[in-house]
Amino acid sequence: MKQKQRDSDAQAAAVPANELGRRWRLGEKFIESWIYLAGLLTIVVLLGIIILLIKEGLPIFFDTPPWEFFFGTKWYPVSEPPTFGIMPFFVATLWVTIVATAISVPIGIACAACLSEVAPEKVRETVKPVIELLAGFPSVVMGFIGLMLLSPLVQSVFHLPTGLSGLTAGIMLAFMSLPIIISVSEDALRAVPDEFRQASYALGATKWETIWHVCIPAALSGITAAVMLGVGRAIGETMTVLMVAGGALAVPVSPTEPMMPMTAAIASGIGNAVRGGLQYQALFAIGLILFILTLAVNLIADRVLERQKRKFQR
Amino acid sequence: MNVNLEIPEKKETINDEVRISVRDLNLYYGDFQALRNMTLDIPENAITAIIGPSGCGKSTFLRLFNRMNDLITGVRVEGIVELDGVNIYDRDIDVVELRKKVGMVFQKPNPFPMSIFENVAFGPKRHGRKNRVELEDIVEKSLKQAALWDEVSDKLGQSALALSGGQQQRLCIARVLAVEPEVILMDEPCSALDPIATLRIEDLMRELSKNYTIVIVTHNMQQAARASDMSAFFMMEEDRAGVLVEWGATEKVFTNPQDKRTEDYITGRFG
């Protein structure tokens, strides 16, 4: 009698459990397809952007041959006939990025090494969030700081006719990419197993030698990623360079000249461009080149990392 | 593996020359005392095994000799550790110089993520040897000493991480030998290895003990009995501080222990 009672109890309990399992699987299916869709959407949007850039930008080459477009030094979109040579913008982007990278990479890696290897835990815990907070600084504000504080300084130190120059923009960009370089490099350095440090110290290496010859090489893939993120930010940053780079249209021979990087050229020109007109197409073509540039930076970084991985892993 | 506790052929006499002497040593992690009143001599060109249950401070004790405990914040050392008559805890001791003299092999093989060559050349390079030919000589000599040369001579440029665990541990030994130390500390060097690799390392230790003073921490009683000349048995007291129960020739400690606790431990009654 009792046995029977228990059996029927078990049956009563089993039904809802089964039902629950079915619902659970349904929910699982739903979430799975939702994630799948979200992933697909990202790819579709990305492809859409690329197609748009190509569709809007490429027709400029029917008017201006690629040779003239890339190596032309005159950008006169509204004269008659208009000329579209992007050399001044391209060289400007190059200068600004070189200055920004030259400043931010050594300082960034040094800061990261200092935070992860030297600073006491308490200092690290307070400094790191503050640095990461700086990454969220609006670029317009950085532009203001560049205008008000940095450009007079650059002008007087280098005895320039104007403080608005590629150098000023590069320094500002260095500041802006520093947080990301520091933060990501620091993570990479902290991920280096302590065994390596111990082994190094036990062999009689100093702290500095351990950082330089063991920790940084072991974290190199993460540090490279950090540098690429930083460089990517420097290439793509618009508002700050628009405000402090000076906006001159000549091909800059030195970083101390005022100049107009590609992003600034697009931002300042697009408002006046007639939709579908030649200038409009030319600006989109610049956008396309920017896209290819950042893509190339990422691909090269991937290659470097891949080669390094193959060399030093099983 | 041979499990009986019979002691294989040993050096007839243990060198009386004392290389390291520890006197009245106390070590604290903050308020916690990890080692209490240790007094012990370590003979030259012999293998001294430190045995005892987990947590009794064996590794901490080993790390005294190359001052690796300095890397942990809040460590305080009282007492004297003399290496060749010089107290290594004196204020004017150069820790880097000390670590050149006292090499260390860790529990888990920890080669750097670099090539085999670079791993062995790491120490000499840090100590100012930059000449390529000279480095090649050092690397070859060290790898031969560590009985690894025949297995890796044709792939020195390959990643050290591609080697097997036993090979990696011998590489770590070669890396230590390349610095030309006088004392080698080994912290359970075989605990991550299989029996065959373990025996190879033990053979290697025997070979090295002709010219080096070796101190090894081990959990493996057979290993201590097989491979060491001297043994020191550690235990912990109720407050978890490590104490030295007994030390002397391995043969004596294992066959005729003076302390009941040693006997209980080596016969497997606890621990």
Question: What ipTM, to 2 d.p.?
Answer: 0.88
CB A168 within 8 A of CB A241: no
Helices then strands, counting H and E runs in chain A, come out as 15, 2
CB pairs under 8 A between A and B: 73
Please list every residue in chain B whose beta carbon sits closer than 8 Å to the beta carbon of residue A214.
112
Per the structure, the complete domain to which residue A163 belongs is given by 68-313
Domain assignment present for A230: yes
**Amino acid B71: pLDDT:** 86
CATH of the domain at A235: 1.10.3720.10
One domain for residues A99 and A185: yes
Nearest-by-Cβ selection for B113 from A198, A201, A312: A312
Last residue of a domain, one of A57, A87, A102: A57
For the segment B184-237, what is each residue's pLDDT rounded down to a tens digit? 999 999 888 888 888 888 999 998 999 999 999 998 888 888 889 999 999 888
For the segment B54-95, what is each residue's pLDDT rounded down to a tens digit? 888 899 999 999 999 988 888 999 999 999 888 999 888 999
**Amino acid B19: pLDDT:** 87
One domain for residues A11 and A122: no
Total count of domains within chain A = 2
| Whether residue A2 has pLDDT greater than 70 | no
State whether B96 and A200 contact (CB < 8 Å): no
**Amino acid A49: pLDDT:** 92
One domain for residues A111 and A143: yes
A200 touches chain B (CB under 8 A): yes
A206 touches chain B (CB under 8 A): yes
Give which of B93, B94, B99, B158 to mutate to test A binding, by max A Cβ within 10 Å: B99
A203 touches chain B (CB under 8 A): yes
For the segment A33-54, what is each residue's pLDDT rounded down to a tens digit? 999 999 999 999 999 999 999 9
**Amino acid A22: pLDDT:** 78
Percentage of the residues of chain B whose pLDDT score is greater than 90: 53
CB B145 within 8 A of CB B174: yes
One domain for residues A183 and A120: yes
C-alpha atoms less than 13 angstroms from C-alpha of A260 in its C-beta half-sphere: 20
C-alpha atoms less than 13 angstroms from C-alpha of A173 in its C-beta half-sphere: 36
Per DSSP bridges, beta strands B242-249 and B230-236 are antiparallel
Chain A CA closest to residue B108: A195
Mean pLDDT score, A195-211: 93
Last residue of a domain, one of A13, A36, A57: A57
State whether B112 and A205 contact (CB < 8 Å): no
Residue A310 falls in which region: left (phi positive, over 0), alpha (psi -120 to 50) or beta: alpha
State whether B99 and A198 contact (CB < 8 Å): no
Confidence of residue B269 (pLDDT cuts 50, 70, 90): low
Domain assignment present for A62: no
Last residue of a domain, one of A26, A57, A88: A57
The nearest CA of chain B is from the CA of A266 a distance in Å of 45
State whether A218 and B112 contact (CB < 8 Å): yes
Kindly report the average pLDDT of chain A as a whole number.
88
Nearest-by-Cβ selection for A204 from B112, B113, B127: B127
**Amino acid A28: pLDDT:** 86
CB within 8 Å of B77: residues ≥ 6 apart: B25, B26, B27, B28, B64, B69, B89
Please list every residue in chain B whose beta carbon sits closer than 8 Å to the beta carbon of residue A200.
112, 122
State whether B127 and A217 contact (CB < 8 Å): no
One domain for residues A285 and A141: yes
**Amino acid A17: pLDDT:** 66
Confidence of residue B270 (pLDDT cuts 50, 70, 90): low
For the segment B99-137, what is each residue's pLDDT rounded down to a tens digit? 999 999 999 999 999 999 999 999 999 998 889 999 999
CB B142 within 8 A of CB B87: no
One domain for residues A36 and A74: no
A198 touches chain B (CB under 8 A): yes
Chain B CA closest to residue A311: B159
Per DSSP bridges, beta strands B32-43 and B242-249 are parallel
State whether B99 and A313 contact (CB < 8 Å): no
State whether B112 and A203 contact (CB < 8 Å): no
One domain for residues A180 and A230: yes
Chain A CA closest to residue B68: A202
| Whether residue A4 has pLDDT greater than 70 | no
Confidence of residue B12 (pLDDT cuts 50, 70, 90): very low
Chain B CA closest to residue A194: B110
Kindly report the average pLDDT of chain B as a whole number.
87
One domain for residues A94 and A42: no
For the beta carbon of residue A131, count every other beta carbon within 10 angstroms. Answer: 19
Which of A97-101, A271-275, B24-28, B76-80 is least confident?
A271-275
| Whether residue B3 has pLDDT greater than 50 | no
One domain for residues A303 and A228: yes
**What residues does B42 pair with on adjacent strands?**
B20
**Amino acid B242: pLDDT:** 87
